[in-house]
Structure 1
Amino acid sequence: MSAESSLSVLPESKLADAAQQSIEIYEQVAALYPNSAYAFSNLASAYASVGKLEKAIELQNIAVEKSKEMVQWHQNNLQNILDEYQKQLGTDNVQ
């Protein structure tokens, strides 16, 4: 398991009990791995889980942009997550 993966597991375990602490950990992961699409996607997921969909969409857009160098499956996966956040918010700006 990579360091990035290890750091990503920790906030998942805390998300239900300490949402803000989990968000802070994910922010640190994104700062440590600024080129990681999934670091930003995980951070977006944390914000979405506490109802901050606008912030989740902003971060997921970053994840989608960073995924352009990845294989198509990852690009599609991250775009689908973005589409779902936009649908939840009611801003179907699907590209």
Structure 2
Amino acid sequence: METNGKRYFANADGIFLKKAQFLEEWFKALCSSLMETPDQPSACMATSTGNRADLMATNVPKELVQKALKSLYDVYESSNHRSVAERFEKLIRSFS
């Protein structure tokens, strides 16, 4: 018979696995919205005065997204879902 703790983690693992595709697509959309091209600066940079605080404010969301992607990678890697972890690893590399 399964203990409550094991059942809880099995349920959490199942939820993360079921949500993997949604999370991957959501982060792809988020990453593409944060990516800047030389001819299309982000709204934050377009209104920027060019000072260091403005530049740091632009980088903060990117850093948070990278940390979130790394956390998801770690979750899937540690729960033996290597193929899902590899997809998040690919997102991390493409967003860096």
Q: Same fold (TM over 0.5)?
A: no
Q: RCO higher in 1 or 2 (8 Å CA, sep ≥ 6)?
A: 2
TM-score when normalising by structure 1: 0.40
TM-score by length of 2: 0.40
